[in-house]
A = this chain, B = another copy of it.
Amino acid sequence: MPHTTLPIALDAASGDHGAAPNVEGAVQAARAGVPVLLVGPRVALHAELGKHAGSASLPLTVVDAPDVIGMDEHASDVRSRTGASINVCTRLVKEGQAAAAVSMGHSGATMASALLTLGRVKGVDRPAILTHLPSKKGFVTLLDVGANADVKPPYLAQWARLATVYLRVVEDRQDPTVGLLSIGEEDHKGSQLVLEAHALLRELDGHGIRFHGNVEGRDIFQGTTDIVVTDGFTGNVVLKLAEGEAKVLFGWVRDALGGSLQTKLGGLLVRGALRGLAERMDPSTYGASILLGVRGLAFIGHGSADARAVKNALLRASRAHEANLIARLEAALAPQGG
């Protein structure tokens, strides 16, 4: 069965570390039954593939696309560089030759390419980047984490509907709750944007979404709601703060454990338990974020992604495709679907 499914198009030389982690992650995903199109400079990709014994028998195909948009180039380059690897990926999706496009490269370029090539789901003004963070309840789903620095109230309402469908279809959460990120739980608190979005979300409650009300920064790790909607500026700050804080706090824990002979001994004893925790906080666990609202599957990962992150992104993309996510999003956003 797996070999007959549509492959995932991976922008395979993109990201901070180039082809190596991408190809290794693709090999792992292929071993798990997910076919992958490795899009990028042919020679470099074959060289990387050669390092993995037995990769020749896996469902992996190299698609030559020597032009890779670098991390420090402009997102707008996707318009003129039509042969750029990310454009090849999104075109493969558009033409029905790939189930999804996945890139660990320039996130702005990935967004621009996906939007230009695939267009938007009807009823969606702007696509948003949806990601997951660990929480006391397992994980919390946050959007937008950076696609739209300036937003309008209806965007937040649309994203709440999209994220609700996503959690139902891809993560099997049947009745997810939506929180609107604000600076107080009270309805009358917040920015002008939040006040107007609150009214729209209140109207949607029971019609496509389950609206909990406003939530605060502290509710994110508490997991007060399944979904937290916010503008792409605040969401991006939240994501980067959450990851940065975890890194610094775990560093302090490590330092604290290295302090004296007594704590060193204790540190050895607790090391395994703490490693489990660090893994829970590791962005690689979720692999990549989905660009939600585009009419086709597109995933954006960390530039620093390792092979595990790439593999998890490919598996997630495959799951979203098999669950028929795009059609389900379109149905939910269609006038009769509200």
Contacts and interface: CB of A to CB of B under 8 A. Distances in A.
Contact of A238 (B237, B272, B273, B277): B237
A249 B246 contact: yes
Interface string A275-296: 0110011000000000000000
A25 interface: no
Contact of A245 (B189, B192, B245): B245
A17 interface: no
B270 A236 contact: no
Interface in A101-138: 135-136
Interface string A17-57: 00000000000000000000000000000000000000000
Copies of this protein in the assembly total: 2
Given A237-B238, A257-B270, A269-B262, A135 B248 contact: yes
B241 A217 contact: yes
A216 to B, nearest CB: 5
Interface string A197-220: 000000000000000000011111
A216 B135 CA distance: 22
Interface in A229-278: 230, 232-234, 236-253, 256-257, 259-260, 262-263, 265-270, 272-274, 276-277
Interface of A: 135-136, 146, 149-150, 181-183, 189-192, 194, 216-222, 230, 232-234, 236-253, 256-257, 259-260, 262-263, 265-270, 272-274, 276-277, 280-281
